[in-house]
Amino acid sequence: MLLLDVVMPGLSGRGALDRIRQTRPDIPVLFSSGYSENVVHTNFVIKQGLQLIQKPYRIEDLLQSVRTALDAAV
């Protein structure tokens, strides 16, 4: 499973996912962002039906989001 930030230096989370999915197309992914869901950076996550957790998050919320992403991949 991948945990990627939407905005990262050098290569965006989307860019990293695109590269990784070339060899692992079914890998589960969870995106994290400090931006609101209405910002252009997070639009692709929502449009593609990917999991997104907003920063700051509690460990309980992270664990639940990981579980949801893993369950969705089955």
User: Whole-model pTM?
Assistant: 0.85
Query: What is the distance in angstroms between the CA of the first residue and the CA of the last residue of the chain?
Result: 12
What local confidence, expressed as pLDDT, does residue 69 receive? 94
What local confidence, expressed as pLDDT, does residue 30 receive? 96
- Of 22, 4, 24, 21, nearest in space to 13 by CA: 4
Which segments in the chain show pLDDT lower than 70?
36-41
Sheet holding 51-54, edge to edge: 2-5, 29-33, 51-54
Token couple for 58:
């509690």
What local confidence, expressed as pLDDT, does residue 50 receive? 85
CATH class label, 2-72? alpha beta
What local confidence, expressed as pLDDT, does residue 43 receive? 78
